[in-house]
A and B are shown apart, each in its own frame.
Chain A
């Protein structure tokens, strides 16, 4: 049996497949499920819009149900920063599902808050990774 046959390779680690022709550091897009403590990352959705706009990625937030959805014009999409996104926030936690390209600067966004060293509190699950 090979790695793949085992499925799990340790404490919660899962084998997903071998890569052919991979170039380190290079990918097409991925989905980030970002979780931030609301107390240390206030107005995180609006702050993401502001951060992106300051990086010349003109996006807007539109309310949908209990959350917000990013409206991303084609011009902004071409910048390979944010391709799609929706955010929600309750009293304690901000969550976002962001489809991002290789130009998305998560650390820059996290450091744009009043407590820049709080970036360590962020958690972001990567999925639907397209190389």
Chain B
């Protein structure tokens, strides 16, 4: 169904209006919709503003574009409140492609990315309000296959029935690198087959795809427990091609910032961490491959890269990479890192500060040694104190300390935390009074496929007050900011959705039918209604709320992964006993000792295992810090050269970040020789801070600043035909 009439009339008044410009967005590289041999709709379950910095929709685009270069690839995001209201008033489905303005039924496949638990409740809401039957068993050939994957895939039991029906036609488990591309190719090749046969054929030839029983109207009486198992996909030995480099520029503030992945998975064994267990084993991308991908990102228009990794500082070549990337990009940012690595790697902290890092986020997690052992954080006191003492001497803006409250904290744990906060205050007052220190707390969600899935649940708000109150008081008494990550209803609903059984599908659908969804916050009443349903239906009981035994029937057990269920239980018992046996990463996993394999069986080959066990951080030494300082200092001092350009009408209305990235892309496509020299491109006449609020919809003449290593105001050289000489020659 074509919704051009509505969008032509109303797009400018919508909350997500920026997504509809430029129109058509040239960076999608789409053919005319009707001429495309295959059409894929990529769906995010959150609004664009919430996922702009994330990559799954871009990753799926890359897979689709590589598999089917002539395909029409479109994206749809969860409409924010005002847009939902406008769509529903006008009878427009909530799933409409931002590029094609077509409904889901006009596509050959719908790829849904589910990033986190609460977001999943938007799937039935979207289906209900898009004229699409909720269950695979009720969707005939008129509807394209709906495939759902993403980092929350292993916690999607709320969209399955015990009989194996599913709100998606198929679920994808694991890492989609390589597999999604193959899947899409197979779906296109087998377009002549009925939907279920097409999916089963694709599932048989790939790894990670589970096909719903009811798909294409087939009824089944089998139980999910009796389903043939599906193996989780793992991207072995990731290389440059596995990294995200091919994607459209979406019209938002992040258009010029690329995410550059350094490694896959995490080497640590934090007992609470969903991703840490889901994405094992830890695998690094070689420096040459990272740099090759970085070069492609720059050609795509990126002036800035954000290093993407669960822990960027476990990367063996992180220090050489920081230097190399800072030579190539205007800005290089990096956030999440392990404190013990920062403590033990000589020069790393100083290098990070030198590379312009002014805000440090440190995951401490447990408020005491005992709690850190329970969480298996493998983080000794000495490392925390050592890093904080060194950071306080640096010229930085803020430190964010992340903690998890478990519900198991005792007065002794709280006393230890009070002492820590007091000591930190004393250190700060001696060293760096102006520094902002933020303590950010989250409540522990026991996630599936982690050791703590066996732990008892704390779903009474009152149980948390004796822990949250004193923790807040300890922070604020010592002059630190205290933050609690999520409100109570979101925490409680997340916990139930993450660890509940297949029975969840009933309340989740019923609540979606009542109009509940998640958009910045849960709609009021969601948690009360969910809790009420659990109580009425016999699930608010000791079996679900209490500690679970090794034989507990967790959902999605048909997903086969290398880490055996027994291992999770063994690690749970260790957590309860306060045993933290470190992790397996080379020289840093074992404080003071040699590394050893913890026997999780996630490594597929001896080579994979050896790469982790013999892992060694490359500490460049020599002139490294001086070289990095020289690069950063030179970059700060660069003066741009200004160029007058004429822009076509197609780009009128684009956000400044989009325009800058697109012009950089155009320049580097035309003049590849500039690649090493050019750092950034910035429109400098109508999008400056003062000017931006006075102009709209401009195209034609304007002025751009080109920031480059050579060829700035002083070094541009002599005059040529159009005043262009020196380093700006394009050969």
A residues bordering B, Cβ < 8 Å? 1-6, 8-20, 22, 24-25, 27, 30, 33, 40, 104-108, 110, 115, 117-129, 131
B540 at the interface (CB under 8 A from A): no
Q: Are A127 and B701 in contact (CB under 8 A)?
A: yes
- Which of B666, B696, B720, B728 is in CB contact (< 8 Å) with A10? B666
Q: Are A129 and B721 in contact (CB under 8 A)?
A: no
Cβ distance B212 to chain A, nearest Cβ, rounded Å: 41
Chain B residues lying within 8 Å of A4, measured Cβ to Cβ, are: 720-724
Q: Are B688 and A12 in contact (CB under 8 A)?
A: no
B611 at the interface (CB under 8 A from A): no
Cβ distance B645 to chain A, nearest Cβ, rounded Å: 6
- Which of A9, A24, A122 is in CB contact (< 8 Å) with B697? A122
B464 at the interface (CB under 8 A from A): no
Cβ distance B148 to chain A, nearest Cβ, rounded Å: 33
- Cα–Cα distance between A104 and B696 once the two chains are bound (Å): 12
Nearest residue (CB) in B for A2 is: B724
Q: Are A17 and B688 in contact (CB under 8 A)?
A: no
- Cα–Cα distance between A106 and B694 once the two chains are bound (Å): 6
Q: Are A25 and B650 in contact (CB under 8 A)?
A: no
Nearest residue (CB) in A for B648 is: A12
- Cα–Cα distance between A118 and B13 once the two chains are bound (Å): 6
- Which of A19, A107, A117 is in CB contact (< 8 Å) with B694? A107
- Which of A6, A15, A106, A108 is in CB contact (< 8 Å) with B643? A15
Cβ distance B110 to chain A, nearest Cβ, rounded Å: 28
Cβ distance B648 to chain A, nearest Cβ, rounded Å: 3
In chain B, positions 691-731 with a C-beta closer than 8 Å to chain A are 691, 693-703, 705, 716, 720-725, 728-731
B646 at the interface (CB under 8 A from A): yes
Q: Are A19 and B644 in contact (CB under 8 A)?
A: yes
Q: Are B644 and A17 in contact (CB under 8 A)?
A: yes
Q: Are A25 and B694 in contact (CB under 8 A)?
A: no
Question: Please, what's the 1-or-0 string for B636-680, where 1 marks a CB less than 8 Å from any CB in chain A?
Answer: 000001111111111011000000000101110111000000000
A-B contact pairs, 25 of them (CB 8 A): A2-B725, A2-B729, A2-B730, A4-B723, A12-B648, A12-B650, A16-B643, A18-B642, A19-B642, A19-B703, A20-B642, A22-B642, A22-B684, A24-B688, A24-B705, A25-B690, A25-B691, A105-B694, A110-B696, A119-B696, A120-B21, A120-B653, A123-B653, A124-B697, A125-B699
Cβ distance B633 to chain A, nearest Cβ, rounded Å: 23
Cβ distance B671 to chain A, nearest Cβ, rounded Å: 7
Chain B residues lying within 8 Å of A121, measured Cβ to Cβ, are: 12, 697
Interface hub of A6, A8, A16 (most chain B Cβ within 10 A): A16
Q: Are B696 and A120 in contact (CB under 8 A)?
A: yes
B564 at the interface (CB under 8 A from A): no
In chain B, positions 285-335 with a C-beta closer than 8 Å to chain A are none
Classify the interface of chain A: helix, strand, loop or mixed: mixed
Q: 6 closest Cβ contacts across the A-B interface?
A: A4-B722, A10-B666, A2-B724, A12-B648, A19-B642, A25-B688
Chain A residues lying within 8 Å of B669, measured Cβ to Cβ, are: 10
Cβ distance A6 to chain B, nearest Cβ, rounded Å: 6
Chain A residues lying within 8 Å of B705, measured Cβ to Cβ, are: 24
Q: Are A3 and B728 in contact (CB under 8 A)?
A: yes
Q: Are A124 and B720 in contact (CB under 8 A)?
A: no
Q: Are A9 and B645 in contact (CB under 8 A)?
A: yes
Q: Are A30 and B701 in contact (CB under 8 A)?
A: yes
Nearest residue (CB) in B for A115 is: B13
Nearest residue (CB) in A for B717 is: A2
Given A8-B670, A18-B643, A19-B703, 18 additional A-B pairs, CB 8 A = A2-B725, A5-B722, A6-B730, A9-B671, A11-B26, A13-B666, A15-B644, A18-B722, A18-B723, A25-B690, A25-B691, A108-B694, A123-B697, A124-B700, A125-B698, A125-B700, A128-B701, A129-B701
Cβ distance A97 to chain B, nearest Cβ, rounded Å: 13
Chain A residues lying within 8 Å of B236, measured Cβ to Cβ, are: none
Cβ distance B287 to chain A, nearest Cβ, rounded Å: 31
Chain B residues lying within 8 Å of A128, measured Cβ to Cβ, are: 701
Q: Are A1 and B729 in contact (CB under 8 A)?
A: yes
Chain B residues lying within 8 Å of A6, measured Cβ to Cβ, are: 670-671, 730
- Cα–Cα distance between A128 and B646 once the two chains are bound (Å): 11
- Cα–Cα distance between A131 and B642 once the two chains are bound (Å): 12
- Cα–Cα distance between A120 and B20 once the two chains are bound (Å): 10
- Cα–Cα distance between A118 and B728 once the two chains are bound (Å): 40
Q: Are A16 and B696 in contact (CB under 8 A)?
A: no
B543 at the interface (CB under 8 A from A): no
Chain A residues lying within 8 Å of B13, measured Cβ to Cβ, are: 115, 117-118
B191 at the interface (CB under 8 A from A): no
Nearest residue (CB) in A for B697 is: A122
Cβ distance B25 to chain A, nearest Cβ, rounded Å: 12
Question: Please, what's the 1-or-0 string for B356-371, where 1 marks a CB less than 8 Å from any CB in chain A?
Answer: 0000000000000000
- Cα–Cα distance between A122 and B12 once the two chains are bound (Å): 10
Chain B residues lying within 8 Å of A12, measured Cβ to Cβ, are: 647-648, 650
Nearest residue (CB) in B for A110 is: B696
Q: Are A10 and B667 in contact (CB under 8 A)?
A: yes
Q: Are B724 and A18 in contact (CB under 8 A)?
A: yes
- Cα–Cα distance between A115 and B13 once the two chains are bound (Å): 8
B634 at the interface (CB under 8 A from A): no
Chain B residues lying within 8 Å of A24, measured Cβ to Cβ, are: 684-685, 688, 703, 705
Chain A residues lying within 8 Å of B695, measured Cβ to Cβ, are: 106-107, 124
Chain A residues lying within 8 Å of B646, measured Cβ to Cβ, are: 13-16
- Cα–Cα distance between A24 and B648 once the two chains are bound (Å): 21
Q: Are A2 and B694 in contact (CB under 8 A)?
A: no
Chain B residues lying within 8 Å of A118, measured Cβ to Cβ, are: 12-13
Cβ distance A24 to chain B, nearest Cβ, rounded Å: 4
- Cα–Cα distance between A10 and B670 once the two chains are bound (Å): 7
Chain B residues lying within 8 Å of A10, measured Cβ to Cβ, are: 663, 665-667, 669-670
Cβ distance A111 to chain B, nearest Cβ, rounded Å: 9
Cβ distance A116 to chain B, nearest Cβ, rounded Å: 10
- Cα–Cα distance between A16 and B691 once the two chains are bound (Å): 22
